[in-house]
A and B are shown apart, each in its own frame.
Chain A
């Protein structure tokens, strides 16, 4: 009698095993999982006084001011794989009575220019500063160019300058990064 019980118990156990299953699921969907965060991040800012465009020692104007900063994360492998679109937004507030040409140059580790853009800034006055906004939307193949860079060179060019020039050129900027992060084999 006792020995016979092993059979029903085995049957019960096998029933547990047989009925326990995972149904109506599709784990291949895991490949479609993608995080798509949209990240807002400050970029660069500056304040240039009008006097910086004039070399008072040598009494000559300095037509172009240039500075460079690393944006080290831009050419990270993760960013190269995940970045789909980047909106660069620049807001200039100009109280110098001159218009400016501003160039943005993206440089790679090897000093190659991978992407470049430029804008002109309207002239203002000390009493009524003028705001110029500039947006550069980068997507598609251009994204590959931008993510090969890890530095931005900013050049500000003034048409003419003299020691009496007054005012400030201010820049505030941010970038909106549209990412698509998925598991890549």
Chain B
């Protein structure tokens, strides 16, 4: 595991346990900051990401538990530690994994001063909330939980594998306002989701009218699983599956449409505000879609023997089959093949930035062509807000940052972030322009870098671009 992790980092994959890319947001020297705000200020004239290397971003993590909590060297038995964690975690805690691989990313400033950009990236997005009650039931059983209603509604998870084709435009509309828009075409390869479930399972001691010792009751169950692109894989040879899925990346799967919106506004030449909405869109799952739905209420009492008078050789009554039939009748599992629509997880970014220090680059204070507009300065401080809409509501993060342009070719940004994972997330990002070659590296959760196992969220992102600046 240790070797794998080190190797992963060495290969330049980014291991990031937070969806939030707070280091790249507003870090305009990095062309990919345009992906986080299509209305950011674009300093360069052209950029071209090195295919497959311009941004690679893998993250996975959990809000309530770290690898060290479970696998740390300890005198306490691992099963005791897991049990303690199950009881410590809340049903709002979650496990998440996101991976993005930029295949192509390019942009250029046209003669009409519009910066066009486009590209393709592939994304995997997974989130599962912690189904605490079901974890307790699996870990402990029901003996010590008589009369306790286990909540089936805690099941809440989504998983998506998709390719995104995008094209956008960005323009400085006035001296103060820069705005941008990006259109996205989603091509979904695989998708599964089970959200908005409900129902309870309870074991109670049977009352005087009860036929047996216990009553095991499922009440008002309504559990749904939407899938698309999965049913057709069933029965396919396992060697064919990767080819089939890759084929869908290129317009073979289910489609969706979305937009990214963003703007930056210079309040005065030191203070600037920006905001963006990313992935305002939906995917229409019509092809190869299957929904499974279990609904109903049922009480299990065990099997009643009626001792029917049987002659020799006559088979007994099929009690067990009857019980199964009864269960299927009371809580039927329906398979629905009609399509469904799925909203993309909307991301909101916002920031307020105060610049100070000596001026750099274009737009000096006496620049008559830039009256009232923002001026690039060597230092800045500010605050950022990030939110992503998840099945159980938005997850938010707040960031304070310090930006410093060290030299013409090197800029750095430090962040302190408070989010669902921790209150102690310090990050550092650096970007350098070596001639036309642009390289950036951004690492999150530096305080935990000495031992990643103790971190609930860690990130390292890096990428390479060719960037051609304004002459």
A142 to B77, CA, bound (A): 29
Cβ-closest chain A residue relative to B144: A38
As a 0/1 sequence over residues 57 to 96 of chain B, the CB contacts with chain A under 8 angstroms (1 = contact) are: 0000000000110011100011100100000000000000
Question: Of B10, B72, B301, B316, which contacts A45 at CB under 8 A?
Answer: B301
Partner-contacting stretch, out of B107-115, B264-272, B288-296, B434-442: B434-442
> B residues within 8 A CB of A66?
307
Contact (A174, B410) CB under 8 Å given A21-B2, A40-B141: no
> A residues within 8 A CB of B410?
5
A45 to B137, CA, bound (A): 25
Judged by a CB distance under 8 angstroms, whether A70 is at the interface is yes
Task: Check B302–A45 contact: CB distance below 8 A.
Answer: yes
Task: Check A9–B439 contact: CB distance below 8 A.
Answer: yes
Interface centre among A22, A39, A68, A172 (most CB of B within 10 A): A22
A6 to B439, CA, bound (A): 10
Judged by a CB distance under 8 angstroms, whether B203 is at the interface is yes
Least Cβ–Cβ distance between A21 and chain B, in angstroms: 6
Task: Check A70–B212 contact: CB distance below 8 A.
Answer: no
Interface positions, chain B 427-455, Cβ under 8 Å from A, are 430, 432, 434-435, 439, 441, 443, 449-453
Task: Check A25–B82 contact: CB distance below 8 A.
Answer: no
As a 0/1 sequence over residues 61 to 78 of chain A, the CB contacts with chain B under 8 angstroms (1 = contact) are: 000011111111000000
Cβ-closest chain B residue relative to A46: B305
Least Cβ–Cβ distance between B290 and chain A, in angstroms: 26
A35 to B88, CA, bound (A): 17
Task: Check B71–A21 contact: CB distance below 8 A.
Answer: no
Judged by a CB distance under 8 angstroms, whether A24 is at the interface is yes
A67 to B82, CA, bound (A): 44
Contact (A42, B216) CB under 8 Å given A25-B71, A174-B302: yes
A84 to B320, CA, bound (A): 24
Judged by a CB distance under 8 angstroms, whether B368 is at the interface is no
Task: Check A22–B5 contact: CB distance below 8 A.
Answer: yes
A141 to B432, CA, bound (A): 70
A23 to B73, CA, bound (A): 9
Judged by a CB distance under 8 angstroms, whether A179 is at the interface is yes
Task: Check B450–A23 contact: CB distance below 8 A.
Answer: yes
Chain A positions near chain B (C-beta within 8 angstroms): 2-3, 5-6, 9, 12-13, 16-17, 19-27, 29-30, 32-46, 48, 52, 65-72, 89, 91, 154, 156, 172-174, 176-177, 179
A sample of 5 more A-B contacts (CB under 8 A), given A38-B141, A38-B144, is A6-B434, A24-B68, A25-B73, A38-B140, A70-B318
5 tightest A-B CB contacts, nearest first: A42-B302, A37-B141, A70-B320, A38-B141, A38-B143
